[in-house]
Amino acid sequence: MAIAPLSRSSIACPSSPVRAPSAPSTQPVSAPPARESLRQLFAADGFDSPMSAKKAGGLEAGGLEAMVQELARMAQVLSKAAELLGGEGGASGQAMPGLKSLAKGVDGASGAGASAQALPELKSPPKSVDGAGGVGAPGAAKGGNTMTFTNDGTSPMTINFTPNAGDKAIDSLTLEPGKAQTVEFPKGWSGNFRSTSGDGAAATLGEVKFNGGGDQTYYDVSYIEGDNASMTIEPEGGGRKSGTMENLLASAPDSVKAKSADGSVYGIKKTTTSNVQDPGVVDFYRKHVGADQGYVIPTDDASTLATKNSHLVVRMKDLTQGTTGRV
């Protein structure tokens, strides 16, 4: 394998006359003693000698031995150059200077002032900055709109999402007891979600509108369609809370209980059917749900809460544990 000769163009060398840029004279400027010594060294450095690696024929006909001898002679030349450049500091006991520092000494530095420093290491490229970490990554900042759901019950819970007209469908999710999962929502998404516990006739609704007026997030818990799961919604990091984690079924009279076709109880009846309200059911909810804690009837607009936070925390627990709701 032949080694290409090192071009002297990569090292500024005073072997050619130096001309002043603006002087009319064409007389060469004499080189200082140190530069003249270097010039003589480089004139015989072997890079262009008849025995250079290229002219020696590579590895053919004893070329390898000639190449080794040539490299050894080149090392001696560079070592001598280092001594000339090093001045009193010399090259004794020091590593051979890199080509960058060697060229610097030839171009404009005297032997005593030349610094035999190696080329600096290239710095690694800067790491890309990502404004948002992945969903669920510990300590990572979230982007966009999210809700984090937690199952506070002792049985698995399935949550279904119903988007408003024109909004994207969201896949349902099933949470094991004590587990949490974060769901991302598109910009401007609005709709509701519910547990599938029971027969579907009565269900607690969580309602949300992202990027509403003033770019705020609007949210509430509604009991208008009934109650099959305890539920609260609040901004991540704290804020006003909608809903209650109280199990309303524990103190409900039989007249307001919601039952499946087989007679099993799973929740509380809805307050309004086809715009007709059930006074007994409304009265029961009023005793347990504050005026701004959740919708009991459609005109409870004080229960719509707003926040600048686009990340909500939802806690849910089916009123009856160990039952499987309709999917």
Please check whether residues 90 and 155 belong to one and the same domain: no
- 165's tokens: 């007209």
Q: On the CB side of 52, how many CA atoms lie within 13 Å of its CA?
A: 14
Please check whether residues 88 and 159 belong to one and the same domain: no
161 falls within a domain? yes
What is the chain's pLDDT, residue by residue, as a tens digit (327 residues)? 444 444 444 444 444 444 444 444 445 445 455 455 545 544 444 444 444 444 444 444 456 666 767 777 777 767 776 666 665 444 344 444 443 433 344 344 344 343 434 434 434 333 333 333 333 333 334 679 999 999 999 999 999 999 999 999 999 999 999 999 999 999 999 999 999 999 999 999 999 999 999 999 999 999 999 999 999 999 998 999 999 999 999 999 999 999 999 999 999 999 999 999 999 999 999 999 998 999 999 999 999 999 999 999 999 999 998 644 433
21 falls within a domain? no
pLDDT score for 245: 97
* Boundaries of domain holding 300: 145-318
pLDDT score for 16: 44
Question: Any idea what DSSP says for residue 211?
Answer: S
Please check whether residues 50 and 168 belong to one and the same domain: no
185 falls within a domain? yes
Domain end point (choices 90, 107, 124):
107
Please check whether residues 217 and 279 belong to one and the same domain: yes
- CA–CA dist 222, 203 (Å, integer): 9
Question: Any idea what DSSP says for residue 17?
Answer: P
pLDDT score for 86: 61
Please check whether residues 103 and 152 belong to one and the same domain: no
Please check whether residues 152 and 255 belong to one and the same domain: yes
163 falls within a domain? yes
**CA angle, 225 then 230 then 320, to 5°:** 95
Please check whether residues 198 and 92 belong to one and the same domain: no
Domain end point (choices 84, 107, 130):
107
Q: Which residue blocks in the chain are alpha helix, DSSP H? A: 33-43, 63-86, 99-107, 279-286
115 falls within a domain? no
Please check whether residues 200 and 264 belong to one and the same domain: yes
- CA–CA dist 108, 304 (Å, integer): 77
66 falls within a domain? yes
**pTM, rounded to two decimals:** 0.57
Three-state DSSP state, 227: strand
Total structural domains in the chain? 2
Question: SS3 sequence, 157-187?
Answer: EEEEEEECCCCCCCCCEEECCCCEEEEEECC
pLDDT score for 45: 46
pLDDT score for 284: 98
326 falls within a domain? no
Domain end point (choices 92, 107, 122):
107
Please check whether residues 170 and 293 belong to one and the same domain: yes
Angstrom CA distances, 112 to 78, 81, 91, 227, stand at: 17, 13, 12, 90
Please check whether residues 191 and 247 belong to one and the same domain: yes
Please check whether residues 151 and 270 belong to one and the same domain: yes
289 contacts: CB under 8 Å, gap ≥ 6: 223, 244, 296
Please check whether residues 102 and 238 belong to one and the same domain: no
User: Rg (Cα) of the chain, in Å, rounded?
Assistant: 42
269 falls within a domain? yes
The CATH number of the domain where 314 resides is what? 2.60.110.10
